[in-house]
Amino acid sequence: MQNLINEESKKRNYTFIDNIRCIAMMSIVFEHCFGFQDLPMYSAKFWVYLNVVQLDKFGTVIFFLLAGFLIGDKFTDYTPGEYLKRRFSGTFGPWLFWSLVYVACLIIDLHVTGNMYHDNRFNQANIWDGIRKVYLYTNYWFIINFMVSITLLLIFKRHLYSRKFGAILLCFTLTYCVNIHYEWFDPSHTTAILGFIFFLWLGAQLRKNWEAFEHWVDNLSYPKLLLIMAVTYIAAGYEMLSLIKMHSQDPYNTLRFSNVLFSLEMFVLLLKIKNFPLISYLQPRKTTYGMYLIHYIIVIYLFKELIRPLDIHEGSLSALEYLLFKIGSFVVIYAITILLVMGINISPAKKLVGN
């Protein structure tokens, strides 16, 4: 994301990073357009939902990989305090602004719906619970997790290229992978403060050994990559289905072990392709962070008002109609958000999208 992982080296411009970053953000927006729905088990729409959501589940891991890849050089240049201070205006400030916009929308929505249904839902307890959920369970969890993760990695920066340190971080990630099934503690990936640091570390290793890794990727065949992608995708879908049957709190968790493998495979595949000519028109370096900040507000509060006159009831849609409706929703939401971000980027308020 812009200002999160856009710390390109002055010696080399990794232009493919912008392409992968943009695709990863598209996957996240598309997933959020589907939302969290409780569909009848084994119905046609259930299978559509299950398969599409799993297909989109690679974005978060890739963002952490790219972050580790691009900020590795900064570890030797700044103390944790200096680095975080530099990031505040470009990353934390815009995040705080848009998260508060979301909170304001939440409070207004509670007030309006409370008046509509006369059920006293507009009260202090619901407001505070809503605010808690904003920062723990909506897309705004990412920056909190990222800042904590990067701070911890900076504190232990002398061990950045230590395999033993990487093994310790991997153990934390695997603990979260297992906990999804046993739920010893909150299994949600949005609260997995130590669950993603390993991917930052791994990204830094890729940067350090870039020439060898790039050569290895270039020598992989597409049939082999597509086969591995299919296997990990099916395995991730099976694990998701198993968790649904177990009534897991978070069956779509990004940190499912099979999904981690699927995400890493998708990263390698995207790295193999590298060039996506049409993506340059979306100006990913300037718009990706803004897409992250704003799209969820559009998904949750604006879009439902835009389609209200159409009187569309998802429960009455066939599986195909449901899929087409969600694809159309994504196109509209993505278009609205990126046009808004581009507009802010050329205005005096451009700092609000991290520039």
The pLDDT score that the predictor gives to residue 199 is 97
pLDDT one digit per residue (tens) for the chain, 355 residues: 444 444 444 445 578 899 999 999 999 999 999 988 888 999 999 999 999 999 999 999 999 999 999 876 666 666 666 776 777 767 888 999 999 999 999 999 999 988 888 788 889 999 999 999 999 999 999 999 998 898 888 888 889 899 999 999 999 999 999 999 999 999 998 889 899 999 999 999 999 999 999 999 999 999 999 999 999 999 999 999 999 999 999 999 999 999 999 999 999 999 999 888 889 899 998 999 999 999 999 999 999 999 999 988 888 999 999 999 999 999 999 999 999 999 999 999 999 987 5
Contact (CB, 8 A) for 238 and 261: no
DSSP type of residue 88: I
8 Å CB contact between 65 and 203: yes
Instruction: Look at residue 71 in the predicted model and tell me its pLDDT.
Output: 78
Joined together, the tokens standing for residue 270 give: 């995207």
Cα dist from 76 to 7, 171, 311, whole Å: 13, 25, 57
Token pair for 133: 């959920």
Among residues 161, 256, 141, 149, which one has the least CA distance to residue 196? 149
**Closest by CA position to 263, among listed 70, 66, 60, 68:** 60
The widest CA-to-CA distance across the chain, in whole angstroms, is 64
Query: Which among 169, 84, 100, 185 is positioned nearest to 135, based on CA atoms?
Result: 100
Residues 6+ apart with CB under 8 A from 278: none
What are residue 64's phi and psi, to 5 degrees?
A: -70, -40
CA dist 293 and 160 (Å) reads 29
Compute CA distances 96 → 42, 141, 294, whole Å: 40, 11, 12
Q: Which residues contact 229 (CB under 8 A, 6 or more apart)?
A: 262, 265, 266, 269
Determine the pLDDT at residue 80: 64
